[in-house]
Chains A and B, each alone.
Chain A
Amino acid sequence: MISDITLGQFFPGYSPLHKLDPRTKIILAVLSIVAIFFANNAVSFALLTLAAVVMIAISRISFKVILRGIRPIIIILLFTAVLNILMTDGKGTPLVEFWIISIYTEGIVRAVFMALRVVLLIVITSMLLTYTTSPISLTDGLESLLSPLKVIRVPVHTFAMMMSIALRFIPTLIEETEKIMNAQKSRGADFSSGGLIKRAKALIPILIPLIVSSFKRAEELATAMECRCYRGDKNRTKLVKLQFKGRDIVWFLAIAAITAGIILLSILPYKFVSPGIIYDIAFFKI
């Protein structure tokens, strides 16, 4: 059944990472992205990798799932790595010199950093957001974080409501698509043979009834919501209120410290470390 697919790759659970306030997780994700882009030396990357590993361990999500998340970008990773290796000019003598190709240590380091940066970006954001936060609490978190924008009349609540209704109706519409497909199949429609254009054309008899019924649903839902006294966020209260707890502060401080450290490392001149082989490896700046 198509309706079995998990939405947005969320894995329900009760790990400390799942229990974090969605707002904290959104903030942490933003901080981590900043840190990842500032990272330009081995120490910084080691710190970030450590953070990612800790998150994976805590969330109790299997390593396989995470590898599966990275798989689609392996080709892009390889491509950028190869380009980085080939195109970077180094200061010293090249490691390999062959025809027009010359590979320098800097190129290899840069390729590794670049690949690591992309992998960390995906792993950390998906650990914090997609894997451990249900779409609905993500929406709640966003609404709450963006609520200051209400002052300048940004309809934050409306957007959040639209998001959550969209999420609510995805399984319903998938079910309906299945029904329509079966109905059309029983009349002899063929969805699985022919070229790309033929297959795309075969989808029209599914899409049109689906769109028509979605409009009907939308109208009925709007009526039902109005009957339940919905009038936007005017005088509206909430059953579940987001509340920052101790663990939110702990996580925030930890990630904020790492981010601050990485930013400092990337902008400070390393005059205080005597140059040498260790300096080269640890603080290799790109």
Chain B
Amino acid sequence: MKDEIIRTENLSFTYESDGDEVLVEDKLRGVKNISLSVKRGEYVAVLGHNGSGKSTLAKLLNMIISPDSGKIFIDGVDVTAEDFTEDDVYNTRRKIGMVFQNPDNQLVATVVEEDVAFGPENLGLPREEIRRRVNSALDKVGMTAYAHHAPHKLSGGQKQRVAIAGIIAMKPEVIIFDESTAMLDPLGRRDVVGIMEQLNREEGITVINITHYMDEAARADRVVIINDGQIAADGTTREVFSKVELLHKMGLESTQGNELLYSLGLSGEKISGEGLTSEECVEAILGYLQGKVK
């Protein structure tokens, strides 16, 4: 399919330990038989608790690690093919940007502006083009005023915005956020999630948000749940979050609204309707109460 930007087929990967001691953590983190297809322009959340293998999936997609078995297609190109060279990796990687968890460990330069320029510089773009991209990327994340600041003096959320600008400046087709909000305060989180959505809606960039925050995942169009390295659920956000029991089995929770309706259901109040957002939940309960009064 032409509008398919990422496809994986039966992807498997296990971390091998070279010593006698096998890290339990590493054993857990592998992935098994992942078959996933992401369309251009989608906003997907990948949900899973710690050690579920969701970050491993991200690393596989960006060719940081190569799978033990299975295939990965990026924009229709098989990146797991035997004859895939270093140059091919480079050319494919520019289509996929990745924002990591710790903002400190992804900023390279001592000046914000130069850090944002790092990606475009690696792409060998002409100077004027780099300048244009840096300015527009900083503008998109609202960090223009900090262009000449030192990154270590910024807050966590601001650093992460700079890191995102560094990715935007490379003009990728997909941006994978690998737990990018996990280390941020609520304000920083809100900013970063806001930018994700803005990039998806306004720029048409495919966004994959790997997270363990339910409220973040609930804002995506589609949710993929990874449990023990396997896809446990894949569907629209509404579908996935309505399966409260399934989520509980995997040690996850649904949205607050869905959880409330579920608990009410357990205590005998069978409320029809869903609680993906708080508003929906309120409506469902109101409707139920009104029905009762009548």
Contact = CB atoms under 8 A, between A and B. Distances in A.
A239 B105 contact: no
Interface in B69-101: 86, 90, 93-94, 96-98, 100
Interface in B119-152: 119-127, 130-131, 134, 150-152
B166 interface: yes
Contact of B170 (A220, A229, A236): A229
A226 interface: yes
Contact of B122 (A3, A167, A236): A236
Interface string A112-140: 00000000000000000000001110000
Given A221-B105, A237-B126, A228 B90 contact: no
Given A168-B107, A224-B100, A238-B121, A231 B90 contact: yes
Contacts of B110: 134-136, 164, 167-168
Interface in A1-54: 3
A175 B108 contact: no
Interface in B20-70: 59, 62, 64
Contacts of B107: 168
Interface string A166-195: 011001100100000000000000000000
Contacts of A230: 118, 122
Nearest to B109: A168
A85 B195 CA distance: 71
B108 A165 contact: yes
B127 A225 contact: no
Interface residues of A, number: 30
A236 B124 contact: yes
B253 interface: no
Contacts of A226: 64, 93
A235 interface: yes
A224 B62 CA distance: 10
Q: Residue among A136, A228, A235, A236 with the most chain B CB within 10 A?
A: A228
A239 B124 CA distance: 10
A217 interface: yes
B130 A237 contact: yes
Interface string A234-263: 011111110000000000000000000000
A273 B64 CA distance: 74
Contacts of B114: 136, 239-240
A93 interface: no
A227 interface: yes
Contacts of B125: 237
Contacts of B102: 217, 220
Contacts of A220: 100, 102, 105-106
Contacts of A158: none
Given A237-B125, A239-B121, A239-B134, A228 B166 contact: yes
A30 to B, nearest CB: 25
A228 B170 CA distance: 8
A227 B118 contact: no
Given A224-B105, A226-B64, A227-B64, 16 more contacts: A136-B110, A164-B110, A167-B110, A172-B152, A223-B64, A224-B98, A228-B108, A228-B119, A229-B90, A229-B170, A235-B124, A236-B121, A237-B124, A237-B130, A239-B113, A239-B131
Interface of B: 59, 62, 64, 86, 90, 93-94, 96-98, 100, 102, 104-111, 113-114, 117-127, 130-131, 134, 150-152, 166-167, 170
- The 3 A-B pairs with the shortest beta carbon distances in the complex, nearest first, are A224-B106, A239-B117, A220-B105
